[in-house]
Structure 1
Amino acid sequence: MSYSKILLPVSGKTRGERANKALQHAMQLCAGEIILLHVTQPLSQMVGGEAHAQLKREENAQGQTCLGPVIQELEKAKIPFHARVEEGTPAETIVRVAHEENADLIIMFTDGRDGLEDLLIGSITERVLRNTDTALLVVRR
């Protein structure tokens, strides 16, 4: 089965081998375009004006850096893609972007629970699964 639009969230935790594993699945299943997404944490509203704008630029630059190795792989494979860096909470932002982009599939990497927060409210992957109607492929280590 192939998909015309695949959303591939990439975080600092899923760099390197983890991101590559999810990317390989995306490249095999993609018959169209891959949408890369990096989600940054919401900035404090206590900081305003130019300082807020500067922090946002720095967050976007860090997001682009995080996406860089994945972008290079897609360019090398000549697979159509575009990248987005969005501010927000990860699970909600992934679901929102999947709907905005009309993605057919979301591919996420998981390695299980990371701590107490995951135990109490669920991992990001679990929260995406509970809140989306888009097909979700979860890649384990």
Structure 2
Amino acid sequence: MIFSKILIPVDGSIHSDNAVKYGFELAEMCEAKVILLHCHPPVPSGLGEPNFQKAIDTATRNSYAILQKYMDAPQAEKISLSDKTIGGDTTNSIITVSETEKCDLIIMGSKGKSDLEGLLIGSVTHKVLNTAHCPVLIIK
């Protein structure tokens, strides 16, 4: 199967590093576009101004710092790459972006939890795996 657009959600962890490594290699082989996505927690609207705007600015700055690590990787020059940051529920954000961008594959890192642990803990990877409209590749 050939993929044309791959979504890789990242959080800066070693698990994300592994997912990006495999995702970039697959994208290069398939000549696919890659979207790197970082989801930050929602900012409470009750903070009031100027605190609300400061919190949004900080979350956005932190998100782009995480994304920049991957955008600057040597392999990034070999593929078509874009990045996005979004606030809100991580699982819903990943699903929404994958559908909106018409991605045909999601690649995510896993911490190695079992199905039962993922279900009880509410693992984002586990939720995406069970709700995504496209294939999900989990990298350990």
Q: What number of residue pairs does the alignment pair up? A: 135
Identical aligned residues as a percent = 29
Structure 1's 76 and 92: CA in aligned 2 closer, same or farther, altered over 3 A?
A: closer
Q: TM-score, normalised by structure 2?
A: 0.86
> Structure 2 unaligned runs (5+)?
none
In structure 1, distance between residues paired with 2:122 and 2:55: 29
- 2:26 is matched with 29
**Aligned-partner residue type, residue 24 of structure 2:** M
| Shift of residue 73, structure 1, vs aligned partner | 1.3
More strand by share: 1
**Cα RMSD between the aligned structures?**
2.1
Alignment of 1:117-136 (within 5 A): 118=118, 120-136=120-136
Gaps of 5+ in 1: none
TM-score, normalization: structure 1? 0.85
**C-alpha distance in 1 between matches for 2:76 and 2:133:** 32
Q: Give the distance between the partners of 2:106 and 2:15, measured in 1 at CA.
A: 15
Shift in Å at residue 54 of structure 1?
1.5
Match of 2:80 in 1: 80
Amino acid at match of 1:127: K
Give the secondary structure class of the aligned counterpart of 1:62. Answer: helix
Deviations 1:52-105 (A, max 9, x none): 112101100000111111111166533111111100111111111101111110
Question: Counterparts of 1:29 and 1:2 in 2: how far apart (Å)?
Answer: 9
Q: How far apart in 1 are the matches of 2:136 and 2:76? A: 26
Q: 1:75 to 1:53 in 2, by over 3 A?
A: farther
